C-alpha cells in the first residue's frame, strides 16, 4: 500500500464508518446509558454485531453507519466507566481525544 492510496482509504473508511471496525479497534463499548465497557471480543453476523465485555455482558446491535453507538463514539459521549471491566486509564484518555 502506497501512502497516497492509504490516504484514499482513510477517507473512504470515514465515510463508510462501520461500527465493527471501530469497536474492534478501540475495544470499548458504550452501553445505552453511556457506561463504557471493555470489549473482550466482537463478532459480526451479517448486519448484527455481538460484543462480549470483560464483565460478562453481551451486547447486540446493528452495524449501521448512523446508529446510536456511532453517534456516541463520534461524540465521545459516555457517562461513566464500568468498574468490573477494569478498563485502563490510557484507553479512556485515548477515547476522549
Ligand atoms: Zn463492563
- Residues 30-44 have pLDDT tens digits of 999 999 999 999 999
Structural domain span for residue 62: 18-96
Residue 8 lies in a domain: no
Residue 11 lies in a domain: no
Beta strands of 1-97 (E only): which ranges? 28-30, 35-45, 48-53, 58-62, 80-81
Ligand 1 center from residue 16 Cα (angstroms): 28
Ligand 1 center from residue 5 Cα (angstroms): 38
Ligand 1 center from residue 1 Cα (angstroms): 37
pLDDT-above-90 percentage for the chain: 52
pLDDT at 57: 97
pLDDT at 2: 47
Ligand 1 center from residue 96 Cα (angstroms): 18
Helix (H) or strand (E) run with residue 57 in it: none
**How many distinct structural domains can be found in the chain?**
1
Residue 5 lies in a domain: no
Residue 40 lies in a domain: yes
Ligand 1 center from residue 52 Cα (angstroms): 9
Residue 4 lies in a domain: no
Question: What contacts 24+ positions apart, CB below 8 Å, involve 60-68?
Answer: 61/19, 63/18, 63/19, 63/20, 64/19, 65/16, 65/17, 65/18, 65/19, 67/19, 68/32
Ligand 1 center from residue 83 Cα (angstroms): 7
Residue 3 lies in a domain: no
Residue 6 lies in a domain: no
Distance from C-alpha of 69 to C-alpha of 53, rounded to nearest angstrom: 15
Residue 10 lies in a domain: no
Amino acid at each position: 500500500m502506497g501512502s497516497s492510496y492509504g490516504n484514499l482509504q482513510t477517507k473512504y473508511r470515514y465515510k463508510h464508518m462501520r461500527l465493527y471496525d471501530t469497536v474492534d479497534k478501540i475495544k470499548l463499548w458504550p452501553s445505552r446509558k453511556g457506561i463504557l465497557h471493555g470489549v473482550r471480543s466482537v463478532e459480526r453476523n451479517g448486519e448484527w454485531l455481538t460484543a462480549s465485555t470483560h464483565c460478562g455482558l453481551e451486547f447486540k446491535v446493528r452495524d449501521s453507519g448512523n446508529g446510536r453507538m456511532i453517534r456516541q463514539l463520534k461524540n465521545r459521549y459516555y457517562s461513566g466507566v464500568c468498574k468490573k471491566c477494569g478498563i485502563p486509564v490510557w484507553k479512556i484518555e485515548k477515547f476522549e481525544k
